[in-house]
Amino acid sequence: MIYQPNKSSLDARPVPGWYADAKLGIFIHWGLYSIPAFAEKPDGDFSSFMNDLSAMKDTRGSAPYTEWYLNALRVPGSRTAQYHAERYGEDFSYFDFRDQFEANAALVDFDEWADLSEDAGARYVVMVTRHLDGYPLWPTKVRNPHMPDTYRSRRDLVGDMTTAVHARGLKMGLYYAGGSDWTFTTRPVRTMTDLMQGQALGEEYAHYAAAQWHELIANYDPSVLWNDMGWPAEHNPHEIFAAYYDAVDDGVVNDRWTQLKLPATRIGRYLYLRFTGLALRFMTTLGKNLPEPKQKNHYDIETHEYEQPASAGYSTWELTRGLGNSFGYNAQETAADLLSGAELVHLLADVVAKGGNLLINVGPDGEGRIPDIQQQPLRELGRWLDVNGEAIYGTRPWSTKTTQTVDGKPIRFTQRDGTLYIIVLAGELGSSLVIRDMTVPAGSHATLLGMATELDWTQQGERVSFTLPAGIANQPAHVVAMGSS
């Protein structure tokens, strides 16, 4: 064993360089929840939902995520429960979606999913292997003590997607909802204290989740362990990390392994949760949010969902989000609810300029097809990267990360091998470009990516002015590359 199952041993291992160079990954959420494909369209996004949970407001299960369908269905009178009764009948269980899902899964062509990932310009893919509904997308041999043995995919969906991704030279990562499993509890999540109780499932669940992670590592050699919802307090996750790093040289681990240990006695747990709920309500009246628990375990990647960090305090981080407000496919969403191609390009440039990776999600529909309204912005991103990818892949942040032109066009900066990339987040450019708060060495040469013509430029105080050629193609963003040769 190279690594010991403790934080100090694991922290000494450097983060593999491929991850910081990759910049763009595709997240895939597909499961039983993709059949009903329903979630209430929110007024806000994930942060609004989490704020309501933290404020101890009764969310009635109304998460913006379709992958939380089972949870919302368990809340009597919820909009999801009403929809389900109207569409499928009250006697139709969530677990009855399995037959239709399995029939559709047998026909899915994972080459199409992998092709889209490659066409979008992604360098890695992360696939959900088991979400909170507890349904494994591979023929696991680890038995769920609360479900029949048939409650797992017959087809090895994880294995087939891994094969398709690797065939295109991309890295493959795996997601697993390690902190909770709704087949081990019937309590729906309506408030933050419900969520906490759902993350305290005991020794039986801890053994189950650890065994499944080990099985996934042994079967698929994933380049990313993407855990979610925390980790059982009864198991040391460093044991998983040590075995993983010994098996996968280029592997990386995200930071969602926070462990919550509730009091052992029923009265102790009641008092703890009661006090926590009162404290959360009080903090809300003061306009304060619940501080995130400090991560005491090892990790490689700091993960942020929908909202970027105010300042990236960790050397390796990512932003993950759906194209819309859900990760799983939501049939209620239209193209207007999703990021456009230009917005996706701008988001990637902004994240990369600040030192992060973007893990953007696709949600195939119940038949395993990725809807055109999701494909379109991803393909537009890929076409932009075909021309401008050298300003993204393998780059690092410049000393100045953001500024703007004198006429208000946003600017982002990246650098690589002595070349500075100036990314103008605007579709149309005029005959000149004047950038604020920027100083570059005299004698630098400038070109517009996609055009061979060298640009004339001048330094005027802390502004740099470029003279632009005619005939610049309209695209979501434009990149000026500056170097000494």
pLDDT in tens, 3-35: 999 999 999 999 999 999 999 999 999 999 999
pLDDT for 16: 97
Give the residue from 329, 361, 390 where a domain finishes: 390
pLDDT for 283: 81
pLDDT in tens, 68-97: 999 999 999 999 999 999 999 999 999 999
Instruction: Say if residues 223 and 170 touch (Cβ distance below 8 Å).
Output: no
Mean pLDDT, rounded, for 296-318? 86
For residues 321 and 461, state if they share a domain: no
Q: How many Å apart are CA 379 and CA 84, to the nearest integer?
A: 34
Query: Cβ contacts of residue 404 below 8 Å, gap of 6+?
Result: 410, 411, 435, 436
Instruction: Say if residues 119 and 127 touch (Cβ distance below 8 Å).
Output: no
Mean pLDDT, rounded, for 248-256? 97
* 3-state SS, residue 374: helix
Phi, psi of 239 (to 5 degrees): -65, -40
pLDDT for 62: 82
DSSP letter, residue 464: E
Residue 293 above 70 pLDDT?
no
Mean pLDDT, rounded, for 282-294? 73
Q: What percent of the chain has pLDDT over 90?
A: 84
For residues 403 and 464, state if they share a domain: yes
For residues 43 and 74, state if they share a domain: yes
CATH number for the domain that contains residue 399: 2.60.40.1180
Q: How many Å apart are CA 340 and CA 323, to the nearest integer?
A: 8
For residues 249 and 156, state if they share a domain: yes
DSSP per-residue string spanning 223-244: SEEEE-S-B-TTS-HHHHHHHH
Mean pLDDT, rounded, for 351-362? 97
For residues 276 and 254, state if they share a domain: yes
Q: How many Å apart are CA 343 and CA 294, to the nearest integer?
A: 33
* 3-state SS, residue 330: coil
Q: How many Å apart are CA 457 and CA 441, to the nearest integer?
A: 12
pLDDT in tens, 421-451: 999 999 999 899 999 999 999 999 999 999 9
Burial of 319 (0-12, 13-18, 19+ CB in 10 A): buried
Give the residue from 390, 407, 439 where a domain finishes: 390
Give the residue from 354, 374, 390 where a domain finishes: 390
Instruction: Say if residues 192 and 290 touch (Cβ distance below 8 Å).
Output: yes
Residue 45 above 80 pLDDT?
no
Angle at 17 between CA 356 and CA 243, to 5 degrees: 105
In three state form, how does the secondary structure of 417-455 look?
Answer: CCEEEEEECCCCCCCEEEECCCCCCCCCEEEECCCCCEE
What is the amino acid identity at position 339? L
pLDDT for 290: 62
User: Global pTM?
Assistant: 0.96
What is the amino acid identity at position 449? L
Q: Tell me which residue range forms the domain holding 149.
A: 7-390
Count how many domains the chain has.
2
For residues 385 and 405, state if they share a domain: no
pLDDT for 485: 64
pLDDT for 314: 58
Direct distance between the N- and C-terminal alpha carbons of the chain, in angstroms, rounded to an integer: 48
Residue 1 within a domain: no
For residues 218 and 353, state if they share a domain: yes
For residues 57 and 173, state if they share a domain: yes
* 3-state SS, residue 356: strand
